[in-house]
Each structure stands twice: as structure tokens, then as C-alpha cells.
């Protein structure tokens, strides 16, 4: 679970304590989560996309 925007999100159940990068795309009302990798910093695969409306 990751905390962002005062909420906690289940990003990837297989890796609950992994560092992730989150991109909030306001015009599309989504948040995209990417895995961060120490060994391969250039590879950050998308692990989850969540719909979210900032105007709630």
C-alpha cells in the first residue's frame, strides 16, 4: 500500500513494501504507478493505473 494525496492505494499486492513513482495526470483523472529499480534505474515498468478525480 502506498500513501498519496491523503489516501492509501494498493499498487501491487505482490510487492507491498516496494518504492514506486506516481504520476498524477490531472487532465485524464488517473494516477499511474511505476516500480523503481536500483539495478536498472532506466527501467520503471507500469504496475497499476487508478482512476481518481481531484475535484472530489
Euclidean distance between CA atoms 34 and 43, whole angstroms: 9
Are the CB atoms for 10 and 31 separated by under 8 Å?
A: no
* Nearest-10 Cα torsion for 9, 51, 26, 53: -90
Q: Is 32 part of a structural domain of the chain?
A: yes
**Phi, psi (deg, nearest 5) at residue 27:** -70, -20
Q: How many domains does the chain have?
A: 1
Tell me what pLDDT residue 16 has.
75
Q: Is 28 part of a structural domain of the chain?
A: yes
Are the CB atoms for 23 and 32 separated by under 8 Å?
A: yes
Over residues 6-53, the pLDDT tens digits come to 777 778 887 777 888 999 998 999 999 999 988 998 999 999 999 988
Q: Is 56 part of a structural domain of the chain?
A: no
Q: Is 11 part of a structural domain of the chain?
A: yes
Amino acid at each position: 500500500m502506498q500513501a498519496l494525496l491523503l489516501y492509501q492505494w494498493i499498487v501491487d499486492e505482490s510487492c507491498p513494501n516496494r518504492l514506486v513513482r506516481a504520476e498524477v495526470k490531472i487532465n485524464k483523472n488517473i494516477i499511474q504507478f511505476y516500480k523503481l529499480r536500483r539495478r536498472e534505474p532506466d527501467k520503471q515498468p507500469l504496475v497499476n493505473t487508478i482512476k481518481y478525480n481531484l475535484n472530489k
